[in-house]
Amino acid sequence: MKFTSLRSIAVQFAAAMSLSLAFAGTATADDHAEAAKDTGTVLITGANRGIGLEFARQYAAAGWTVIGTARKPDQATELAALDVEIVQLDVTDQSSIDAMSESLEGRSIDVLVNNAGIFPRVGQIEKVDIDDYTQTLLVNTLGPVRITQALLPQLRAGDSKKIVNITSQLASIELNTGGNFYGYRESKAALNMFTKTLALELGPEGFICITLHPGWVRTDMGGANATLSPEESVTGMRKVIDNMTADDNGVYRGFHGDIVPW
């Protein structure tokens, strides 16, 4: 783990070193451009466990600069064991969001993964608790809206300009043949619509915004019977993210890259 301030000093130092090395003739500008193309800076929300932690692990292992957020950084032991920066973030708390974006002022972010989410299981309309339902919308829908809004300067400064919203197949209206999961389905369906609208606005600036279903994954949320390990799911999603082109802007895909019907 590295603290943000130390990391930014390290980044500036590394940038200065790259420059001096280039002048010294040991590395060319093309070498640096090539290296920058394959990696970059990724920010992952909810990176202390589950799918977010696996995203952090894989991106760090691939040499990316990883900013992983956690609601309680002091308890994010598995994340802290990785070569990543940890930033405190509760996606429902505007002061926490503002503090995060301030701490990242002047930085660039190539890929934003809006991953943090909650999944209350409510199967009957009589059992819908409006406070819980509201909380689900606050985390799963308004969370990504607020984070994207707060980090726009850093994303605009990034090379890749990729915004990845982690949705669910349960958000698909067409595939909803079984009912159940009040609140969760709606929160992710609204996230999908946000993604599409954002894609239409930011596409002309070179952004690629997608909404990505991770599959059914063995995490606290997915449970022990889920079909995929976090590693399998994230390996697939990273491939999708790596291969995203302008044609993908505003699409709804699964972790294999397959199109999911709205």
Ligand X SMILES: NC(=O)c1ccc[n+]([C@@H]2O[C@H](COP(=O)([O-])OP(=O)(O)OC[C@H]3O[C@@H](n4cnc5c(N)ncnc54)[C@H](OP(=O)(O)O)[C@@H]3O)[C@@H](O)[C@H]2O)c1
By CB under 6 A, the count of residues binding ligand X is 29
Active site residues: 184, 188
Q: By C-alpha distance, which of 208, 219, 187 is closest to 250?
A: 208
* Residue closer to ligand X (CB basis): 72 or 131: 72
> Mapping DSSP to helix (H, G, I), strand (E, B) and coil, where does residue 41 land?
strand
Give yes or no for a contact between 160 and 217, defined as CB atoms under 8 angstroms apart. no
Residues within window 27-56 making contact with ligand X, judged by CB under 6 A:
45-46, 48-52
Determine, following the binding rule CB under 6 A, whether residue 119 of this chain makes contact with ligand X: yes
Please spell the DSSP secondary structure of 173-200, one letter per residue.
Answer: STT--S---TTHHHHHHHHHHHHHHHHH
Q: Exposed, middle or buried by CB within 10 Å (0-12, 13-18, 19+), for 207?
A: buried
Q: How far is the CB of 226 from ligand X (least distance, A)?
A: 5
* Residue whose CB is less far from ligand X, 40 or 215: 215
Residue 229 interacts with ligand X (CB under 6 A): yes or no: no
Name the one residue in this structure whose structure tokens are 């394959």.
38
User: Of 216, 229, 235, 262, which lies in the binding site for ligand X, with binding defined by CB under 6 A?
Assistant: 216
User: What's phi and psi for 39, nearest 5 deg?
Assistant: -130, -170
Tell me whether residue 1 or residue 118 sits nearer to ligand X (CB atom). Answer: 118
Q: Does 166 bind ligand X (CB under 6 A)?
A: yes
In whole angstroms, give the CA distance from residue 107 to residue 250.
Answer: 25
**CB nearer to ligand X: pick between 107 and 185:** 185
**Is position 139 an interface residue for ligand X (rule: CB under 6 A)?**
yes
**Is residue 148 within the footprint of ligand X (CB under 6 A)?**
no
Return residues touching ligand X (CB under 6 A). Answer: 45-46, 48-52, 71-72, 89-92, 115-119, 139, 166, 168, 214, 216-217, 219-222, 226
